[in-house]
A and B are shown apart, each in its own frame.
Chain A
Amino acid sequence: MAADHNAFITEETIEGDADAEGPLADATVAVKDNISTEGIRTTCGSEMLADYVPPYSATVVDRLTEAGATIVGKTNMDEFGMGTTTETSAFGPTKNPVDPERVPGGSSGGSAAAVAAGEADVALGSDTGGSVRCPAAFCGVVGIKPTYGLVSRYGLVAYANSLEQIGPIAGTVEEAAAALDAIAGPDPHDGTTRDLSEVEGADPDASYAAAADGDVDGLTVGVPTELFEGADERVVETVEAAIADLEAQGAETTEISLPSVEHAVQAYYVIAMAEASSNLARFDGVRYGSRAESDGNWNESFAETREEGFGAEVKRRILLGTYALSAGYHDKYYKKAQDARAWVRRDFEDAFADVDVIASPTMPVLPFELGESLDDPLRMYLADANTTPVNLANLPAISVPAGEADGLPVGLQLVGPKFDEETVIRAASAVEDR
């Protein structure tokens, strides 16, 4: 039995279709605890939903079990996905299997830790501002953030709808890609999913697993200076060595500039907090969720329920989001953040006129020590500098292990044009082949 990393909140099984064939037949899958599982509690890492048992499963869960995978449990996470370390969970922090003194990253830390510790073949996370790629990087595994609209969010408990996608985490690029093959595709229950046969330039018959062929001959890799500036020297060296290996395999690298990304973290947090303040208004203790014992009226009862049910980081984001949307501040924060989002998107579009993928460190830092960043929220937010631009631009990205620095894993992030998952998967598989 492996050491307990507190990767799971609930260990229960949903059997996969025994007759299914394909790469996921008999695979074990761990599912982040903000993805609904019929009959199995889904807590979002929150006291608020500690006893919540969904009456239906998320589309992605059904697709995995239909492909033959067995769900083995629900993984620990930052409360409602709000964090970069998995320390804001009401169920205690998850430890990084590589070094149990360190965080696994977040918010899908339990998912990455379960894969890294061999407790599941594959895991699902959700990525709102880096929550799949960050823990993949910190735990030394692979994580994919799909293009917005590729994977159904039906059954994902919403935090910031316009930014988030469910994505797979696995030990290899090919395994993660095979899981993406299973979960991708339009869903009538999620009106933001796209049918690739109707998307210009996309390949509706794409096999993501088959794209993991390691062939980067002639591929152009853009290296944006902005995403290396300010990063830990040890991270930069490790990532540059991995990019040099891509060159040795026939890829061409070229320096590019994405000036807008200097504002990505600010824009991301304003938009995510604003959407969170609206999404989390539903937790009032009436239809689901815990309810405080209260003698007060309607509003007092709600306020007491939410005081008890939410942890500090969730309260912080709800309040800041409410502030940013309120009269007198909306134009200053929210409108400006939307301008920044459009600017980031245009910057990436311009860059992809010249390059096939964009490479950078996934995280500008090595995994934090447990407790190190918990009392300094701004410091935690700044660690998302390289991952948040991708969500703002709705693009696909992957984090693949680039090597180690001081014995700790370093992730290389590869970003591609919209719905061109195949190219980032191909490039990542070459990094892995070194």
Chain B
Amino acid sequence: MSDTSDSTDDAGEAPDGGDDAAAAVDAEEVRHVADLARVRLDDDEVAAFADQFGDILDYFEALDEVPETEREEELVNVMRPDEVEAGLSQEEALSNAEETEDGFFVGPKVS
């Protein structure tokens, strides 16, 4: 997404400090994460997700038992000559947009 100004925000309280095993998630946290992800939720969804996230994050807790493991990736860069190639035409690139004007995408108002 184009607005990343607060994408590095904390998603809530940092997990260290307390050692309560249950990863309980409250409605406020669900709303906060949904806000970061730009997904609006209704109250029923918030309540259902808070329940389900508690169970799922509890299950993810088992990752704590995983030993630190060396990662030997055999990755190489894939390069090609910087030459102009055929791509989408402007018309094709705009063909699925909800709203366009003078060959541009029209987005929602900024503020």
Contact = CB atoms under 8 A, between A and B. Distances in A.
A337 B63 contact: yes
B67 A339 contact: yes
Interface stretch (A21-29, A49-57, A65-73, A102-110): A49-57
A326 B62 contact: no
Contact of B33 (A285, A326, A327): A326
Nearest to B62: A266
A326 B36 contact: yes
B97 A327 contact: no
B97 A287 contact: yes
A300 B42 CA distance: 14
B69 A343 contact: yes
Interface in A270-316: 270, 277, 281-282, 284-291, 294, 296-304, 306-307, 310, 312, 315-316
A326 B106 CA distance: 30
Contacts of A56: 88
B111 A55 contact: no
B13 A328 contact: yes
Identify whether the interface residues of A are mostly helix, strand, loop, or mixed: helix
A426 B78 CA distance: 32
B72 to A, nearest CB: 8
Contacts of A381: 56, 59
Interface of B: 1-3, 8-16, 29-30, 33-42, 45, 48-49, 52-53, 55-57, 59-60, 62-72, 78, 80, 88, 92-93, 95-99, 105-111
A328 B108 contact: no
A336 interface: yes
Contacts of A310: 39
Contacts of B40: 300, 303-304, 306-307
Contacts of A138: none
A327 B8 contact: yes
**Across the A-B interface, the 6 shortest Cβ-Cβ residue pairs:** A326-B11, A328-B14, A301-B108, A288-B96, A55-B92, A191-B78
Interface in A176-232: 188, 191-192
B32 to A, nearest CB: 9
Given A319-B33, A326-B9, A343-B69, A266 B60 contact: yes
Interface string A328-352: 1100110011111011001000000
A368 interface: no
Given A286-B106, A343-B66, A378-B56, 17 more contacts: A55-B93, A191-B78, A277-B37, A284-B2, A285-B98, A288-B96, A288-B97, A302-B38, A303-B35, A303-B38, A307-B39, A319-B33, A319-B34, A319-B49, A329-B14, A339-B67, A381-B56
Given A188-B80, A297-B110, A306-B38, A312 B64 contact: no
Contact of A286 (B52, B62, B98): B98
Contact of A270 (B55, B63, B64, B96): B63
A409 to B, nearest CB: 28
Contacts of B1: 281-282, 284, 302
Nearest to A277: B37
Nearest to B53: A320
A269 interface: yes
Contact of B56 (A282, A288, A320): A320
A320 to B, nearest CB: 7
Interface string A246-271: 00000000000000001100110110
A294 B98 CA distance: 13
A327 B10 contact: yes
B83 to A, nearest CB: 12
A298 to B, nearest CB: 5
A168 B40 CA distance: 37
A100 interface: no
A149 B105 CA distance: 34
14 contacts: A53-B96, A266-B59, A277-B37, A281-B38, A282-B1, A284-B107, A285-B98, A288-B96, A298-B110, A306-B40, A319-B39, A326-B11, A339-B69, A340-B63
A303 B96 CA distance: 20
Nearest to B96: A288
Given A290-B98, A319-B34, A329-B15, A263 B3 contact: no
Nearest to B6: A299
Contact of A377 (B42, B56, B97): B56
A156 interface: no
B30 to A, nearest CB: 7
